[in-house]
Amino acid sequence: MALKNETYTELETLLKKAYAVQAAMAVIEWDNETAAPKEAGELTSEMVGRLSGVYYEIMAGDDMGKLLKTCEKKQESQKNGQKDGSKASEKNMEELIKVRMVEEAKKERELLTCVPQEEFEEYTKLTSAAGKTWAKAKEQSDFSIFAPTLKKIIDFRKKLASYRQKDGQTIYEVMLGEFEESFPENKLDEFFDIIRKELVPFLDEIKKSGKAVDNSFLKGGYSEEKQRELAVMIAEYIGFDFDRGVLSVSAHPFTTSFHNKDVRMTTHYDDWADHSLFSVIHEGGHALYELGIDDRLTQTLLGQGASMAMHESQSRFVENMIGRSEAFWVPIYGKVQKLFPKQLGNVSLKEFTAAINRVEPGLIRTNADELTYSLHIMIRYELEKALMEEKIEVEDLEKVWADKYEEYLGIRPENAAEGVLQDIHWSQGSFGYFPSYALGSAFAAQIYEHMKEEIDVDSLLKEGKIGEVTDYLKEHIHRFGRLKDSRQILRDTTGEDFNPHYYVKYLKEKYGKLYGVSI
Ligand code: ZN
């Protein structure tokens, strides 16, 4: 018995309507960050509030409920009549899309409706006001200004998570699952254990090596106009299609997508040439993911990255494995030198590559190099876990934060602004989000290791054939959108489940070589 198409088409139409509302909100959000005048904020956010109400009504409404139930029932009976083990043919792909679409829509509906509406509104108010309190506390570098609000957010967040808590699940695992569903908490514990045991002592070795890498030539005299020229050139070079994408400027670089023909990214220019440059390459990695999503999936709930971590794996792959390799710069470094003859004219490709890979333990996560980055994330993971398990109190947070930086990175923040108050995430209630950043880097390393067995990445990059490398990502990852979860993508692409040892191996080999440390 084939799934009757009318019901499914009706469901699809309703979901498209919901998607249109969501895309409208994303357009406004983009505009807010890049072009809107200063005073637009308040009235515009009221407008967004109304639109999100419309989205809620569609997704949580009775029509959606009925359609989902009917589709699910039909799919159930179809599944029972089917033999398993059939290879993914085109027909199966169409069927898989239908099944996954219903699953995702159900999940989204549950997520929206599992919390009593008044509580959700109260929570939204709390977190939107918290942004200002956090900013004030950070400006004055005084944690006590933010601590009472943070306490309220944590209590509320725990309560909200408890509505979705399943047997055997911790509260923190529920939160983690919002960003990376296919990783239970014990998998993450294992991952960060490996990072702690392997990378903390390795960083010590690097520090002890005493080798200084000069990067002073990356700062000073890089005009915004020339940096912009470089940004466009690099974006185009890595395959960002300006007929289907826009590059703009915002305070914090980000990427957003309305569908696979309109993907927008931003950068931010400052004194350091590598800041904007690597923002563009990083966001470019996110953008290639969105641009590569299959036409059948775009503008649907499946037309997005498999998870936060998988998205981050693609941006980090393009940024680090490609963009920070010497091979990547071989065909284009001459052009970059021509753009900045005064700063880079006498800097060799080797010196340039060393500079963009310089390791320096610092206090600020967003400025961290590739090697120390995951240690910043590990600290946040440990703290979030301890907070949710009530092993530490909000009042202790500033000190425990500083202790952990001293223990793992060998440096201690002198004030709260460069310590516990540096990230905006907790004021937004985003607990469980941070691990995605580190997991993404580890996914990227595993994909890279496997890719090198199939194609000669270094030679292709040296010959300027970067498209063949990014096509590999599109073929194995991008086009599937959210059709598979991230562990399935890893298994299908690399032939094995997630294995964090590739990440450690990649970092040790790369930085061991650069700093002359034997591993
Ligand atoms: Zn990113």
pLDDT at 86: 47
Angle between helix axes 224-238 and 466-476 (nearest 10 degrees) is 60
CA of 356 to the centre of ligand 1 (A): 18
Reply yes or no on whether the pLDDT at 480 is more than 50.
Answer: yes
The predicted model gives 151-179 an average pLDDT of 95
* DSSP structure class, residue 478: G
CA of 152 to the centre of ligand 1 (A): 28
Express each pLDDT in 373-384 by its tens digit: 999 999 999 999
Q: Which of 19, 51, 55 is nearest to 259 (CA)?
A: 19
**C-beta separation of 275 from 268 below 8 A:** yes
| E-assigned strand segments in 164-222 | none
C-alpha 259/C-alpha 501 separation (Å) is: 35
pLDDT at 376: 98
Residue with tokens 């006498």: 346
**C-beta separation of 274 from 305 below 8 A:** no
Percentage of residues of the chain with pLDDT beyond 70: 97
Reply yes or no on whether the pLDDT at 62 is more than 90.
Answer: yes
Average pLDDT of every residue of the chain: 94
Percentage of residues of the chain with pLDDT beyond 90: 85
Q: How are beta strands 262-267 and 245-249 bridged, if at all?
A: parallel
Express each pLDDT in 285-338 by its tens digit: 999 999 999 999 999 999 999 999 999 999 999 999 999 999 999 999 999 999
* Residues forming a β-bridge with 413: none
The predicted model gives 428-442 an average pLDDT of 96
CA of 367 to the centre of ligand 1 (A): 13
pLDDT at 117: 80
Sign of CA dihedral 403, 408, 411, 414: negative
Reply yes or no on whether the pLDDT at 79 is more than 90.
Answer: no
pLDDT at 87: 52
The predicted model gives 259-276 an average pLDDT of 96
The predicted model gives 50-67 an average pLDDT of 94
CA of 504 to the centre of ligand 1 (A): 20
0.85 cut: is pTM over it? yes
CA of 284 to the centre of ligand 1 (A): 9
CA of 283 to the centre of ligand 1 (A): 6
CA of 279 to the centre of ligand 1 (A): 9
The predicted model gives 339-366 an average pLDDT of 96
CA of 286 to the centre of ligand 1 (A): 7
Q: Which of 236, 191, 258, 278 is nearest to 502 (CA)?
A: 191
C-alpha 153/C-alpha 429 separation (Å) is: 6
State the catalytic residue, choosing from 95, 173, 198, 283. 283
The predicted model gives 400-425 an average pLDDT of 96
C-alpha 249/C-alpha 382 separation (Å) is: 34
C-alpha 500/C-alpha 185 separation (Å) is: 15
Written as one letter, the residue type at 252 is: H
Q: Which two tokens stand for residue 393?
A: 């109190």
Reply yes or no on whether the pLDDT at 91 is more than 80.
Answer: no
- Phi then psi for 362, rounded to 5 degrees? -130, 175
SS (H, E, C) 131-150: HHHHHHHHHHCCHHHHHHHH
- Phi then psi for 477, rounded to 5 degrees? -130, -60
pLDDT at 82: 58
Express each pLDDT in 126-136 by its tens digit: 988 898 899 99
C-alpha 477/C-alpha 291 separation (Å) is: 12
In our burial notation (b when 16+ CB lie closer than 10 A, e otherwise), range 58-70 reads: bbeeeebeebbeb
CA of 282 to the centre of ligand 1 (A): 6
The predicted model gives 234-247 an average pLDDT of 98
Does 283 qualify as catalytic in the annotation?
yes
Q: Which two tokens stand for residue 94?
A: 């169409």
pLDDT at 405: 98
Q: Place 85 in a pLDDT band, splitting at 50, 70 and 90.
A: very low
CA of 122 to the centre of ligand 1 (A): 30
pLDDT at 48: 86
Cα 409–411–414 angle (5° rounding)?
140
Q: Place 267 in a pLDDT band, splitting at 50, 70 and 90.
A: very high
* DSSP structure class, residue 245: E
Q: Which of 87, 88, 83, 102 is nearest to 3 (CA)?
A: 102
Minimum mean pLDDT among 164-168, 320-324, 391-395: which range?
Answer: 164-168
The predicted model gives 454-463 an average pLDDT of 98
